[in-house]
Amino acid sequence: SQKIEQNSEALNIQEGKTATLTCNYTNYSPAYLQWYRQDPGRGPVFLLLIRENEKEKRKERLKVTFDTTLKQSLFHITASQPADSATYLCALEIPGGGADGLTFGKGTHLIIQP
């Protein structure tokens, strides 16, 4: 089965710096990968999706990269703000996975310090 590894320790970043979160996976390469944000007491919210044939995807201050050779995705937040503090989850879709094919990592807790 697919395993997903995200840094389980909290990541502390100073405001204004770039925060970089890592998502590593094992076994087969996913068809695509998604990143979600989760705030305390709330459900995850979709942020970005990147396909296996895409190297990079951007949305405002967010950037996601996808390296199928390294089996890794990096999630970057540039010019970070305290409001970016949250837990970030990556999720993988296996090829042909269909309705049940999305597997989530445990998430990385990001803290942006003013």
Partner 1 sequence: DAGITQSPRHKVTETGTPVTLRCHQTENHRYMYWYRQDPGHGLRLIHYSYGVKDTDKGEVSDGYSVSRSKTEDFLLTLESATSSQTSVYFCAISDDRGPISNSPLHFGNGTRLTVT
Binding site for partner 1 (CB under 8 A): 31-32, 34, 36, 41-46, 49, 51, 89, 91, 93, 95-102, 104-107
Shorter beta-carbon distance to partner 1: residue 80 or 94: 94
78 exposed, middle or buried (CB, 10 Å; 0-12, 13-18, 19+)? middle
Q: Are 46 and 36 in contact, with CB atoms under 8 Å apart?
A: yes
CA neighbours closer than 13 Å in the CB half-sphere of residue 73? 33
Shorter beta-carbon distance to partner 1: residue 42 or 114: 42
Q: How far is the CB of 5 from partner 1 (least distance, A)?
A: 11
Q: How far is the CB of 77 from partner 1 (least distance, A)?
A: 19
Shorter beta-carbon distance to partner 1: residue 23 or 112: 23
State CA 52 to chain mean position distance. 14
The three-class DSSP label of residue 24 is: strand
Shorter beta-carbon distance to partner 1: residue 4 or 80: 4
Q: How far is the CB of 97 from partner 1 (least distance, A)?
A: 7
Q: Are 9 and 106 in contact, with CB atoms under 8 Å apart?
A: no
Q: How far is the CB of 23 from partner 1 (least distance, A)?
A: 12
